[in-house]
Amino acid sequence: MVCTHPTWPSNDDATPLIIYLEKLILRNNSITHLSADVFASLPSLRHLDLSANSLLSLPNEVFAKLRNLKTLIVASNDVQLGPECFSGLYQLHTLSLADNRLSFLPPSVLKPLSGLKNLDLSANKLLSMPASVLATLAGLHQLKLGQNLLSSLDAGMFHAQKDLRSLDVSENLIGDIEDGAFYGLDRLETLNLTNNQLVRLPGNTWSLPSLTCLDLSSNLFVSLETASFDGLPALQYLNISHSRNLKTIQMASFVQLSSLHWLSLAHSALNHIHPSAFNPIPPISFLDVSHNELRNLAPGLLQWQNVAHLRLAHNDWQCTCDLRAANLRPTDDARCSAPDNLQGAHLAELKSCSVLGGLLIPFLLVLFILLLAIVILGLACKRPSKGSSSSSSSRNRAFYNDQLIAALNSHKEYSFDCHSPYTMSSEDSRDSAYESPTSALMPRRPPPTCPPPPRLLTLPRAGPCHVAPPMVPALLRNNDAYLMPKSSQQVPITRL
């Protein structure tokens, strides 16, 4: 079907009524072509819908006569754009070119649209969006670039859109956000980055002081690093759900999110949230961490009494005293997985552990350590000092040896010999001697009696905690020490 200049009905004075038409909907027809002057007689038209047709192109200046047009919808066609197809649309506020398989935009195609507020380029095949294409759209409030093939957001990409309030780049192939990609977007309030290929968020990614809503769901995050959301002081809604690779949230990941009220981390692979992930703790009233692999939540992670909507179901909750101390009150069917005596219990019905029960194990551990220290100290006090004991023993042994030798040598007839077992020498004849204590010969006179050993003295302390026992003279305990008279005659005596 070809749409050409129609024959419009007229009133009694031959003035076509069509000149007063403000809204024209030609949606869902089979229009394939528009002639250049098809809308020339519609100066009052404000809304034109050409969606869901089969248009292949838009001729240059096809809308040039529509000076009052505010909304133009050309979605769901197969249209390719001429460089001047939007000439004359100075009053246009809303333009939709969604779902047209567009892979390229002429650099100057949007130049006449200086008053444009809303631009929809979603569901096309755009590989990039040069800053030059958007350079003249300084008053743009809403930009939709979702469902394209964008692989990155380049630095300065939106530098001309100082008044932009909403940006949608969802369902692309974005794996990198360059530093300065959001430079100048001081009024941006909503940012949709869902279903991309983001793996990490460097701390300098954001500089969006007015952003209140951020959707990062369905990305490839493995971990949320420290200061991942720095530069978002006004953020209230944050969605990171359906991040199937997300396992950990590190310390201070949610830094300076003092306005955050709504947070979803559901349907991910979370197994750890650092106790200091929030710094400072935001006034969260809605938290969804359901369908993860969490076992515990730190009592000081959030102000749990302020979380009115808490979703914790489908996790591996270990209902220990630490978890119960948080006094969680989930609003869904969250249940304990362990210990065995609480398996299947509702988290909302758990009571906090008693103070005694919570302190019993630490108390017993401290008591055991103290007792062990006392035992070790006692053993150390009883053990003599090695150096002191050895020194004292040597001095005492030398002292008693000298005393014994002096006493033995005081007898004229005997001398001390350490090398003649069971023998004694005397000046008497050989007849008065015997060779061993078992011999039949008896001495004519008994051997002299050895003088008593000197009295053992009490030794000084061998160590700080121990008194060394008296030392026995070595000669009195030496099996090889004997008395020998000065005479050449050997007279046996009993061993000392």
Q: What are phi and psi of 346, to 5 degrees?
A: -75, 135
Which two tokens mark 348?
């909302």
Which two tokens mark 147?
């469902």
Q: What pLDDT, on a 0 to 100 scale, did the predictor assign at position 464?
A: 47
* Geometric angle at alpha carbon 317, from 314 and 321, rounded to 5°: 155
Model confidence at 424, pLDDT cuts 50, 70, 90, reads: very low
Residue 441 pLDDT > 50, yes or no? Answer: no
Cα 164 to Cα 72: distance, rounded to the nearest angstrom: 20
The 3-class SS string of 164-179 reads: CCEEECCCCCCCEECC
Amino acid residing at 284 = I
Q: What pLDDT, on a 0 to 100 scale, did the predictor assign at position 448?
A: 56
Q: Which residues contact 342 (CB under 8 A, 6 or more apart)?
A: 319, 336, 350
**Tell me: the pLDDT tens digits for 371-403?**
888 888 877 776 655 555 555 555 555 555 555
Mean pLDDT, residues 245-252: 95
Cα 445 to Cα 279: distance, rounded to the nearest angstrom: 106
Which position has the higher pLDDT, 459 or 37?
37
Average pLDDT, the chain: 81
Q: Output 67-73 pairs: Cβ under 8 A, ≥24 positions apart.
A: 67/43, 67/91, 68/43, 68/44, 69/45, 70/46, 70/94, 71/46, 71/47, 72/48, 72/96, 73/27, 73/48, 73/49
**Tell me: the pLDDT tens digits for 268-325?**
999 999 999 998 899 999 999 999 999 999 988 998 899 999 999 999 999 888 888 8
Instruction: Identify whether the C-beta of residue 235 lies closer than 8 Å to the C-beta of residue 256.
Output: no
Strand partners, 483: 416
Mode of pairing for the β-strands spanning 414-417 and 213-215:
unpaired
Distances (CA, A) of 212 to 144, 239, 345, 447: 18, 12, 37, 117
* Geometric angle at alpha carbon 397, from 391 and 402, rounded to 5°: 130
Distances (CA, A) of 365 to 163, 169, 356, 379: 63, 57, 14, 22
CB atoms inside a 10 Å sphere around CB 336: 23
The 3-class SS string of 339-405 reads: CHHHCCCEHHHCCCCCHHHHHHHHHHHHHHHHHHHHHHHHHHHHCCCHHHHHHHHHHHHHHHHHHHH
Is 429 exposed, middle or buried, given 0-12, 13-18 or 19+ CB atoms closer than 10 A? exposed
Of 127, 172, 166, 165, give the one whose Cα is nearest residue 146. 172
Residue 210 pLDDT > 50, yes or no? Answer: yes
Model confidence at 437, pLDDT cuts 50, 70, 90, reads: very low
Cα 133 to Cα 233: distance, rounded to the nearest angstrom: 31
Mean pLDDT, residues 410-433: 46
The whole-model pTM stands at: 0.69
Which position has the higher pLDDT, 437 or 31?
31
**Tell me: the pLDDT tens digits for 31-60?**
999 998 899 999 999 999 999 999 999 989
Which region holds residue 48: left if phi is over 0, alpha if psi is between -120 and 50, else beta? beta
Model confidence at 122, pLDDT cuts 50, 70, 90, reads: very high
Distances (CA, A) of 283 to 4, 314, 450: 61, 25, 100
**Tell me: the pLDDT tens digits for 8-21?**
444 444 457 788 99
**Tell me: the pLDDT tens digits for 163-187?**
999 999 999 999 999 999 999 999 9
Distances (CA, A) of 57 to 52, 80, 97, 206: 14, 5, 12, 39
